[in-house]
Structure 1
Amino acid sequence: MGERVTDVLYGLGWGTVKRLPEPVAAGLGRTIADTVWRRRGKGVLRLEGNLARVVPDAGPRRLTELSRAGMRSYMRYWMESFRLPAWREDRVRTGFDPAGLHHLTDGLESGRGVILALPHLANWDLAGAWVTTRLGVPFTTVMERLKPESLYDRFVAYRAGLGMEVLPHTGGTAFGILARRLRDGGLVCLVADRDLSASGVGVTFFGEEARMPAGPALLAQRTGALLLPVTLWYDDSPVMQGRVHPPIEVPRTGDRAEKTSVMTQALADAFATGIADHPEDWHMLQRLWLADLDPARRPAPPEAGGTT
């Protein structure tokens, strides 16, 4: 029953919110965000716990201010996402203003293939729609399986409608398809600040141990594609801002595991710069650091002489 209700609510969002005038939708998003924030549920408390690591000198008042701004940013993401299918092409083309775009365009022109790796900052769906609309470049991405299946299908259809090829995270075929797209000189976009497999790469993130997906670094090594971190943020205008960071190079020495570790740490460091500058736009309402995970979900320590 709960899964069906969730599916219906998302369906209402895409069916109703996209018809609202933009100022009305924005006001509705703020009202919902403030209501959820005042209820102090698990998601809000987890967000504050995560923000306490990002802004370690923040006191209780500053953290509550940040979490309120964070929930407003999160609901802006949802209001925009519900409305994106109805946006005119010129609205999408002017809705994002990234710096460092030459890293992406030069990489695509080289024919090497490009991997864009992003954290959960601002609106990654809008950034993707901008790439397909403004640059005219299709891309492939991976999405976590959702329950119920009908909700997953809604998200796949939504993102496909924005010009994305969407692969399921589970099933074992995604990596091979992504590698083929990159070898053909294509573009792959991955949200990569949270490990969904419990077998990711250990990184130091804001001074504590976390794990992030190995996929972006492994794909870059296997295919020769450029690996570009991207960070996003909102300001006071309707236009989302962003930065395409310089490429993360494959180390010249070390085995595959060592190279993957170095590259994933560099990716985490790039993510941290964007999150630290705009903590209110980081939509991380889940446990991320190993110290916060349930003991049963923590990865087992490597055996003596083994590799991680």
Structure 2
Amino acid sequence: MNSLAMFISRIFLIFPNNIQSLIAKLVGLAVWAVVSRRRKNIMLKNIREIFHTTESEAYLIGKASITRFGGMLADLLQYPRLSKENIAEMVSFQGLEHLKGALDCGKGAVMVTGHCGNWELLGAALSYQGFPMVGVTRRQRNLSFNRFINVFRKMLPGATVLDKGNLRDVFRALNENKIPLIFIDVDGRETGVFVKFFDRWTSTPPGAAVLARMRGCPIIPAFISKASNGKHNIILQTPIWVDNSVNKETAIYDTMQHLSSILEQHIRRLPHEWFWLQDRWRTEKNE
């Protein structure tokens, strides 16, 4: 898989920028074409109900949300040419001082984000800025695609990728003053904490709050979005601290509600950049 991934990347990088953009657009349209009608209907229903849009408006948001995967793949294929010296050509940064200040405490930092923009590039770009990033992911259902992505993830300086279920190793990374990157916009299922997300009770993984509370480290909300000129913008927000003056259950709930509200605000600004295809509200709260 490693040789195949590198071969595809080398071939892709031979083409001029306009051809690369065309390939990305065609791949995005192909991804949209293969998504089942059932999953599209769930996605469009959620968009209509949340934003009170017309069917055509919801369709435009949903389609943009999925077709951008072509651009994400194109960015991934750029990884072999990236370096600390040229990453600024592709990505701009805002709020790096928040992350530097958090690491100065020596307890690591939990970074949280959602599946917004090119989320794969978020951790990669920060790695090239010298930050000890740790990707906390779950394995893709398609094992071949999972191996393909990991080829590029492991190119990053000091790259570490951990399974989201292995909290012990994630906690160890914090002890080493590293930065686990955790996604809070996936279904937390029965073990999640229910918070309001777009005015719906939503099962949310509590790991970010649990780790930050145990370690006594800050949580840094981070987002990446794409500008009209094709460049990506990374914004790191001010640190959030878990309130240890309240009991554990309240502290985790309050923290995850706060983080979910921040994520919601970002999605409302850029709805076409969030991954609407997932059934985010699959797990229902028992009243």
Q: TM-score, normalised by structure 2?
A: 0.87
Which runs of 5 or more residues in structure 1 are unaligned? 303-308
Of 131, 134, 138, the residue aligned with 1:144 is 138
* In structure 2, distance between residues paired with 1:283 and 1:147: 17
Question: For this pair of structures, how many residues does the alignment match?
Answer: 285
Instruction: Say whether 1:231 aligns with 2:223.
Output: yes
The Cα of 1:40 is off from its aligned counterpart by 6.7
Letter of the structure 1 residue corresponding to residue 122 of structure 2: A
Task: Check whether the contact 1:141–1:190 (CA below 8 A) recurs between aligned residues.
Answer: yes
The Cα of 1:140 is off from its aligned counterpart by 1.4
Task: Check whether the contact 2:202–2:285 (CA below 8 A) recurs between aligned residues.
Answer: no
Q: TM-score, normalised by structure 1?
A: 0.81
Q: In structure 2, do the counterparts of structure 1 residues 53 and 20 end up closer, same or farther at CA, with 3 Å as the change threshold? A: farther
The Cα of 1:58 is off from its aligned counterpart by 1.5
Matches within 5 A, 1:97-112: 97-112=92-107
Per the alignment, residue 68 of structure 2 pairs with 73
Letter of the structure 2 residue corresponding to residue 122 of structure 1: G
* In structure 1, distance between residues paired with 2:42 and 2:79: 28
Instruction: Say whether 1:193 aligns with 2:185.
Output: yes
Of 41, 44, 47, the residue aligned with 1:51 is 47
The Cα of 1:138 is off from its aligned counterpart by 2.3
Per the alignment, residue 84 of structure 1 pairs with 79
Q: Deviations over 1:112-142 (max 9, x none)?
A: 3111101001112212121111x21222122
* In structure 1, distance between residues paired with 2:53 and 2:7: 38
Of 258, 269, 281, the residue aligned with 2:273 is 281
Letter of the structure 1 residue corresponding to residue 72 of structure 2: Y
- Once structures 1 and 2 are overlaid, which stretch shifts more, 71-80 or 224-233? 71-80
Q: In structure 2, do the counterparts of structure 1 residues 217 and 25 end up closer, same or farther at CA, with 3 Å as the change threshold? A: same
Task: Check whether the contact 2:192–2:206 (CA below 8 A) recurs between aligned residues.
Answer: yes
* In structure 2, distance between residues paired with 1:258 and 1:58: 35
Q: Deviations over 1:243-266 (max 9, x none)?
A: 212222212433212211111111
Instruction: Say whether 1:162 aligns with 2:159.
Output: no
Q: CA RMSD for the aligned pairs? A: 2.8
Percent identity, aligned pairs only? 20
- Once structures 1 and 2 are overlaid, which stretch shifts more, 195-204 or 16-25? 16-25
Of 172, 182, 192, the residue aligned with 2:174 is 182
Per the alignment, residue 114 of structure 1 pairs with 109
Aligned with 1:162: secondary structure? Answer: coil
Q: Deviations over 1:92-128 (max 9, x none)?
A: 2332223222211111123231111010011122121
Instruction: Say whether 1:255 aligns with 2:247.
Output: yes
Instruction: Say whether 1:30 aligns with 2:22.
Output: no
The Cα of 1:76 is off from its aligned counterpart by 1.5
* In structure 1, distance between residues paired with 2:256 and 2:180: 16
The Cα of 1:206 is off from its aligned counterpart by 0.7
Which runs of 5 or more residues in structure 2 are unaligned? none
- Once structures 1 and 2 are overlaid, which stretch shifts more, 253-262 or 263-272? 253-262
Per the alignment, residue 305 of structure 1 pairs with none
